[in-house]
Amino acid sequence: MAFAMRGALGSLGRAATSMGMAQTQTQAALGAGRGSGAAAAQRLAGMARAMSSLPSHTKLTLPALSPTMSEGVIASWLRKEGDFVEAGQPVCEIETDKATVDFEVQDDGYLARILVEAGGPAQPVGEVIGVLVEDKEDVAAFASVTLADMSEGGSAPAPEKKEEPAPAKQEQKKEEPAPAQTSAPAASSTPAGQSSGERVFASPLARKLMAENNVDLYALTGTGPNGRIIKADVEDYLASPQAQEAAPAEAASSEAPAAFSGASGDYFDVPVAEDAQELAAQLEQSKHEVPHYYLNCDIDVSALLDVRAQLNAKLPEDQQVSVNDFVVRAAALSMQAVPDVNASWGKTFIRQYRTVDINVAALTSPDDGVLMPVIRGAERKGLTAISAEMRSFVSDSDEVDLDLGVGTFTISNMGAFGVKTFTPIVRQPQGSSLGVGTITRRAVPVAASVEADLSQGPPVKIVPTMTVTLSSDHRVVDGAVGARWLQHFKTLLESPLNMLL
């Protein structure tokens, strides 16, 4: 009944949205007489009446894939108009300057209209990119709908295309692309991004290589899809005479760092890659805004280590499973058992996700910082699939395009560095984050029989133990829910065969 009520309310909301848009467009039409005359106003009023008669529908808007994302490009559409899409299925791929991420719909429906073509210019976050309807018979009603029709206030540019006496501001907007067009012939000698001032896209691996070699992003011309800069472009540039000539100037500029009010003495500045800057901004924002609380527990991993040894004895060396693979698997299954943790804060609502997407802290190279690639649909993947994806995170292959989008949960494992315990920062908009410490051997008392000789003290056994800490946003996950999740997670790791069934 709750789902039925939610659906009914959603339909009413969408209908109200359409009616409100129609009213807004009608008012715009009545006020358009100064620039385009009564005829244009009548056309816009007719358009408003047509919009109000459209069937119930849902607008697909460009999502913010990170707190700092402001725009994105539709890399490809995975469905065509008229196709049925189930909730949780990807409908298109969205490309930012960091990664390419699948965009999944939240409700079942038919893709009635694609408003932004793949490979086109970047669109701002919140822009309408498509339309979803519940009934297939309603698809035809959207055949002639345009982006301007569906965008709020989007009917204003219509007179500009047909009427000569357009307002000065609109004429200025039309003339703005002219400098980019006039500079296009120079693209062979000057990178397009530098000459036009447009945004330049590059793969995460290419950005890392540019940061390591202090290469200007606008000095390169991309040969990847849609002009994307890839690793090969950076390597070709570094081997070119142009890079050799630029090296002395870069070295000279590095000797004169910008003024910085800090401690006196010798120092040098280390450039921060864009991916690391974005992650730092997210964590800084989360630390200030999220009411954190922390739960930790010790886990006996004796059985886990035994099962892992048995599995690896039958697997090739390049397919061995790690302790962290078990951790990811257990976390995904615990999310299914306690779905309240697989959620995020929305101020007026709490959003629960149907799939479990886990960000895993990965050290891409010894000299590079930590990235947070995401494992999508982790609850549907077994140990070997998770292990293969984890290995790809640290691959140097340019064919591996890391998905750096924000998942629904984050795992940071610092066991390799000998860290016993730590409290991770919750990464918004996620509700929780898990910190995993190293495995230590601890003496644990065991129950003694009545006949046992206790003259040498109580009997003990040595147990390999791992400490984990769950950091949670108290607005989303209260203490009791977090405790139930941690209890289920501990049970799975101490009885790992349950994860293999």
First vs last Cα of the chain: how many Å apart? Answer: 34
Q: How far apart are CA 468 and CA 228, in angstroms?
A: 40
Place of tokens 């697989």: 342
Residues with a catalytic annotation lie at: 474, 478
| DSSP state for residue 454 in the 8-state scheme | -
Q: What would the DSSP string read from start to end of 110-132?
A: EEEEE-S-TT---EETT-EEEEE
Please give the Cα distance from 319 to 282 (Å, whole number). 34
Give the number of other Cβ atoms within 10 Å of residue 259's Cβ: 5
Cα 328 to Cα 183: distance, rounded to the nearest angstrom:
50
Amino acid making up residue 28: A
- Helix then strand count (H, E) for the chain reads 15, 18
Pair of tokens at residue 101: 């991420």
Contact 86/101 with Cβ under 8 angstroms?
no
* Dihedral sign of CA atoms 169, 172, 174, 180 in order: negative
357: tokens are 């997407």
Cβ burial of 68 (10 Å; 0-12, 13-18, 19+) is middle
> Residue 272 and residue 81: Cα distance in Å, rounded?
42
User: Other C-beta atoms within 10 Å of 483: how many?
Assistant: 15
Distance CA 344, CA 95 (A): 23
Residues facing 13 on adjacent strands: none
Adjacent-strand bridge partners of 467? 298
